[in-house]
Structure 1
Amino acid sequence: MITGFSHNNDGYNAVKLFNEMRKYGFKPDNLTFASLLSAAALVAHDEKECKQLHCNVVKAGADLFASVLNALISLYVKCGFSLLSPMSDARKLFDQMEKRDELSWMSMITGYVRNGEIESARELFDGMNEKLQVVYNAMISGYVQHGFMLKALEMFKNMHLEGIELDEFTYTSVVSGCANSGLFLIGKQVHASILRTGWRPASKLALPVNNALVTLYCKCGKVDQARQIFDSMLEKDHVSWNAILSGYVSVGRIDGAKNVFSAMPEKDLLTWMVMISGFAQNGYGEDALKLFDRMRTGLTPCDYSFAGAITACASLGALEHGRHLHAQLIQLGFNSSLSAGNALITMYARCGVVEAAHVVFHTMPYIDSVSWNAMITALGQHGHGLKALKVFDLMLQENIKPDRITFLIVLTSCSHSGLVKEGCKYFESMDNDYGITPDEDHYAQANDLIQNLPFKPGAPIWEALLNGCRIHGNMEVVTPQHDGTYILLANMYADAGRREDMAKVRMMMRERGVKKEPGCSWLEVANKVHVFLVDDTSHPQVHEVYTYLRELGVKMRKLGYVPDTKYVLHDMEYALSTHSERLAVGFGLLKLSRGATVQVLKNLRICGDCHTAFKFISKLVEREIVVRDGRRFHHFRNGECSCGNYW
């Protein structure tokens, strides 16, 4: 009975039955103690309990049996996190043993690894006369878990050279380590070795190896190879399905992720979380929120799934929906979650409420580098460059080391606010003070250094340079390389009144097959997202919007507004009035309550004429208009824009 309880992980009843056995006068033997100690490891919580059981073993004379001593060692090891000196007691027993078997060595080495004493584990390993497969596997697993991948690979190599069989545990540890360390080529060589040696992972025991291989290829962006392995697997579990699902999501192949998600026989919380985050991070915000609602019909969401849904609200600009999720987070007790808090900062910032983002940031019980980066980004996007730099300085005072993403955010904040001297200072400090070599994105924000680039500049740099030239009227530009850059160049010619050159650029786009992404703007009204395209006729209330914009146009002209038709090839004011952002703002002014801020999101950079028009509209209707375009926020108040015409 004691053995039965032990095998079923019921330590409480095993110990209770042992006490009854002694009460009735039965004397425990070595078999009793071997089972009892295994069960006791599940319920013993302090050193006193372990010592009492140890004394019972000695009194009964059962400490002469290797099986009992092994069980005692395991007891000390498994209770190690609550004992003052778990491994010293276990080591004394181990050293006193006249004969040690595989379990003895395995228990000790595993115990050292569990308690973070990896060097002690290696010292014991080196003292073995005959290296055992199970001990080799324990050492390799320990090195992988503690991030010593090179030592794990060295151990793996020695194991092979000594002729010790490599099994599924060996391969799982090594391949998983390669996946987590980004050592794709080495992981691929291990995979080749598996196939070359004729080891065919066809049994149930091989499932972890296949899962590790799928994870390796997915984490290294080789999702097609991962899918081949996945499809060839004779057995799959939740880990298998979630691994291939995460692979598709990580490379942005949402259609593939959808197919995997639909085919999954069962979905756990991790599955839903991965899919919701995948939708949210790849521009499928509405799908992410629908999936989040579906998940809640059968499962209680965790903080990570809330973070995915909040990220979706950020991409959609669905402020009210995001606020509801924030309230639910608090009700469920997830308001201290780091991932949810970071998502909330981004959501409020991208929905135009930077003050709320600031409140979340300051009330989070714990913040990390992602939190600091999110807050700096929020301030920078809204044109608060000096405040963004102040937060960055606070980050440094808290001894949080900035990374290349942090510096990119800081440089972007300086760029948005025209803080040239500050930007140059931080650009130089990247390498000088922090040893971070600037890459192409950093140079794109510091385009005045373009002549000194150590590599051939790519499209992001030329786009930044072209935009700077557009702002300052500098026509000494270079050949553009992608659609965004072509449009900037065309707008530069438009600003300079060179309409023929603008027409040539657009002709060049057609000849080279470069297609301009269509403009799309949207806003949230009464908890519903309304989407507008350029020259839109599909929205059910768009004709009412056109009428309202024409009425506004008449009043705007009286204030001095003149349509800037240089942004179109033909002199048509109508073409400007049908831009998606103009329609969205008009709809917001019509449908939102009087005095409410109109918040519009656009996928592309805001049109120059629309930018001018919104200044006049904000003054005319005495309301704030906030437009988030593809680069930053524009806050239009009383005839002025927060960007200072620098965007």
Structure 2
Amino acid sequence: MPDGVAAMPLRPRSPAAVRLPPLAASVEPRAFPAATTSQQQQQCLPPCPYAALLQRSAATADPCLAAALHAALLKPRLLASHVFLHNHLLIAYFKCRLPHLGLRVLDEMPRRNAVSWSAAIAGLTQGDRARDALALFRRMRLAGCPPNEFALASALGAISLAPVGTGHARQLYALSVRLGFGSSVFLTNAFLAAMARHLQLEDAVRLFDGASARDIVSWNTLLAAFARHWSVQGWILWRRMVREAVGADGFSFSTILSGLAVTASLAGGLQVHAQLVKSGFCDDVCVGNSLVEMYMKSKCLADGVMAFAEIRCKDVVSWTGLAAGCLHCGEPAKAIGILGQMMLDGVMPNNYTFATSANACASLTDLDEGRKVHGYVIKLGDDSDVGVNNALIDMYAKCGSVACAHKVFQSMQQRPVISWTAMIMAFAHNGRAREAVEVFDDMLLRGVAPNRVTLVCVLYACSQGGFVDEGWIYFNAMKDKFGIQPGEDHYACMVDLLGKAGQIEEAEELISGMPFRPGVLVWQALLGACHLHGNEAVGRRAAEHALALENDDPSTYMLLCNTLAGQHDWDGARSVRVLMGSQTLKLPGSSWFQSMSDRSQACIR
């Protein structure tokens, strides 16, 4: 490469900053065509430096540089005579996330080779335009251009992302075998990824076992598929990697640790941690983050903090994962402190950080800290994220500020069903059942279909407000209108609604007509209604059913004891308390307080 090209700036601010030789002589005057052609050949920059500059624009994803080079190449008509310059320009546009310009360059090419088509297919696949990539692959076949290995792998990658089924993937792989690429590990990995993405794990395992050649990418692809839908096969595959002495890399360790975190498998996590120390991948930040996650999901807070301390270059994922782990371990005050330390260290929070902060404030019912989090969200311009707004709605609701929760809800441009559900529960939890039902009705009018949790929330709101008629309407519409089979939570809400309204017999009749065996929640709801209305006979039956299912739940004993005491059956209430004491069911209470001096939280037990 010439020295002048290597010394050029990576990101020129304008097309004028690209230091190319003067191209004014390439404009053909009408009076002297022959002389100008000779002069053009002498002063025109050869194609190779242009190719190097286009590679640089692709590497830096600089659209200004790509556009400037495109304009410079049009004047001396170099593009028309050099296919490889067209290909470099095509790649540069796709790397700059300008697929429409890349496709225009492809359409305007007088000659296209396999590299041209492959680059465009790969660019569309990497830009999440899988269907367009597959359509372009069909165009390539119709144009009579035989696909190369890279085009086939890119098309298989597009099938992994598009909901087109595995039939297309099988056809493409059969085509690759017919074209002589059957032994290509590159194509085998792409086909393996397509099968795994479409949850054809048995076929993926058969393909993996029958492959003539495998590399670490093959192992990682199958391991990631098992980790995404974690099962014991993931651990078996990892043990097989160890037995066959496959050199695991950072991605392997990160994947297996994340999979073990899903099931909180501490024993397996300790084994992987020991292997990690031997392998030398402890400095990998992604591996460190997964290790912290594994310990936190296993509720080993001290070990998780130690793993976090060993990460050398901590990023926002590291800090947020530690805070989320503290919240998972029941330490929301520590979570808030960690997030504060993160910001003091100059690490910018992301949307997941804000959601974690809001959840911690909700656990502490700390409205002041929650408002600070909301202020940071607005300041940093992340107030349009749906997940953050849902966390803020939940935080304000649990802190008793329903008006603020409603303001956040109204400010949302996009309101998926989870946002409507959060707002319904916010009203219901704060004693505003009528507003909760109105939000549910408004959701239906806007064409948003409820899910199971939404219907639990609206039935709970009807129970809180005593809306028996509305409750029956929503309950009966579950299966007929919404296509949702009522579950135990829905029946428990209806039993609670009928019981609070004094309709004990109707509640018992509903329970007897359940299509499955009633659970503890249903019987406890009936027992609570009996305590409210003093129905000792039905209360005893409900308690017997609940204790037969779960005899170590203190809620059942307390409800029965209070029911008997309310009917002045002191002997019965005393016997229930004696039974509770013999089984050591009484749990210690806890409460939170916040120090006004240092704003630190503590838990009194």
The two structures share one fold, judged by TM-score above 0.5: yes
1:213 aligned to which of 256, 272, 276: 256
2:304 aligned to which of 254, 257, 261: 257
- Please state if 1:467 is matched with 2:528: yes
Give the structure 2 partner of residue 442 of structure 1.
490
Deviations 1:199-221 (A, max 9, x none): 5234xxx3322322222232244
TM-score norm. by structure 1 comes to: 0.68
Residue number in structure 1 paired with 2:441: 393
Aligned position for 1:608: none
Who is 2:503 aligned against? none
Residue pair 2:374, 2:392 contacting (<8 A) in 1 also: yes
Q: Which residue of 2 aligns with 1:201?
A: 247
How many residues are matched? Answer: 522
2:291 equivalent among 214, 225, 244: 244
Corresponding residue of 1:133? 185
User: Is the aligned partner of 1:275 residue 2:327?
Assistant: no
In structure 2, the residue matched to 1:148 is 198
The answer to whether the Cα contact below 8 Å between 2:478 and 2:485 also exists between their aligned partners in 1 is yes
State the shift of 1:62 in Å.
6.2
Query: How far does residue 394 in structure 1 lie from its aligned partner after superposition?
Result: 2.0
Cα gap change, 1:221/1:53 in structure 2, threshold over 3 Å: closer, same or farther? farther
Cα gap change, 1:117 to 1:531, in 2 (>3 Å): closer
1:96-148 per-position Cα deviation (integer Å, ceiling 9, x unaligned): 8988754454455557767888876654433222322201212333455xx41
Residues 138-171 of structure 1 deviation map (CA, whole Å, 9 limit, x = unaligned): 2333455xx4122x6525523533x322322122
- Name the Cα RMSD after superposition: 4.5
User: Does residue 518 of structure 2 align to residue 518 of structure 1?
Assistant: no
Contact preservation (8 Å) 1:149, 1:178: no
Q: Which residue of 1 aligns with 2:372?
A: 324
CA contact (8 A) 1:76 1:87 kept: no
CA distance in 2, matches of 1:424, 1:212: 47
**How far has the Cα of 1:194 moved from its partner?**
3.9
**Alignment match, 1:348:** 396
* CA distance, structure 1, for counterparts of residue 54 and residue 424 of structure 2: 55
Change (3 A) 1:207 1:485: same
Larger RCO (CA under 8 A, 6+ residues apart): 1
Quote the offset at 1:305 in angstroms: 1.3
Tell whether the 8 Å contact from 2:208 to 2:218 is kept in structure 1 after alignment.
Answer: no
Aligned to 1:585: none
Please state how far the C-alpha of 1:177 moved relative to its aligned partner: 2.5
What is the aligned partner in structure 1 of residue 105 from structure 2?
Answer: none
Q: Which moved more, 1:219-228 or 1:471-480?
A: 219-228
Give 3-state SS (helix, strand or coil) of 1:400's partner: coil
Question: What TM-score, normalized by structure 2, do the two folds share?
Answer: 0.72
Q: Structure 1 residues 121 and 453 mapped into 2: Cα distance closer, same or farther (>3 Å)?
A: closer
Cα distance per residue 1:35-75 (max 9 Å; x no partner):
6665554458699988997984661476999xx95654454
Which amino acid letter does the alignment assign opposite residue 471 of structure 1? Answer: L
1:529 CA drift (Å) = 7.9
Q: Contact 1:341–1:360 at 8 Å: present in 2 too?
A: yes
Local SS of the residue matching 2:383? coil
In the TM superposition, what whole-angstrom CA distance separates every residue of 1:548-587 from its partner, at most 9, and x where no partner exists?
A: xxxxxxxxxxxxxxxxxxxxxxxxxxxxxxxxxxxxxxxx
Counterpart of 1:296 (choices 343, 346, 351) is: 343
SS in 2 for 1:296: helix
- Mapped partners of 2:237, 2:3: distance in 1: 41
Residue of structure 2 aligned with 1:498, choices 561, 569, 587: 569
Offset, 1:521: 6.3
* Aligned residue number for residue 568 of structure 1: none
In the alignment, structure 1 segments of 5+ residues that lack a partner are: 535-647
Q: Secondary structure at the match of 2:564?
A: helix
Classify 1:4/1:27 alpha carbon distance in 2 versus 1 (closer, same or farther; 3 Å). Answer: closer
Matching residue within 305, 315, 321 for 2:353: 305
- Given residue 148 of structure 1, which amino acid in structure 2 is its aligned partner? H
1:76-107 C-alpha deviation (Å, 9 max, x unpaired)? 34554599977777777788898875445445
Which structure 2 segments of 5+ residues have no match? 24-40, 88-111, 496-506
2:536 is paired with a residue whose SS is: coil
Contact 1:280–1:288 (CA under 8 A) maintained in structure 2: yes
Residues 1:112 and 1:158: Cα distance change in structure 2 (over 3 Å)? closer
Query: Is the contact between residue 230 and residue 240 of structure 1 (CA under 8 Å) also seen in structure 2?
Result: no
Q: Which amino acid in structure 1 is aligned with residue 559 of structure 2?
A: L
Distance in 1 separating the partners of 2:86 and 2:143: 10
Contact 1:214 1:229 (8 Å CA) reproduced: yes
Matches within 5 A, 1:515-594: 515-518=586-589, 520=591
Do the aligned residues in 2 keep the contact of 1:137 with 1:170 (CA within 8 Å)? yes
Residue of structure 1 equivalent to 2:26? none
> In the alignment, is the contact (CA less than 8 A) between 2:121 and 2:154 conserved in 1?
yes
Question: 1:109 touches 1:121 (CA, 8 Å); kept in 2?
Answer: yes
Q: 2:195, 2:204 within 8 Å by CA — same for their partners in 1?
A: no
Q: By how many angstroms is 1:229 displaced?
A: 2.0
Report the Cα offset of residue 390 of structure 1: 1.7
How far apart, in 2, do the equivalents of 1:462 and 1:296 lie?
48
What is the CA distance between 1:379 and its match in structure 2?
Answer: 0.8
Q: Distance in 2 between matches of 1:519 and 1:320?
A: 21
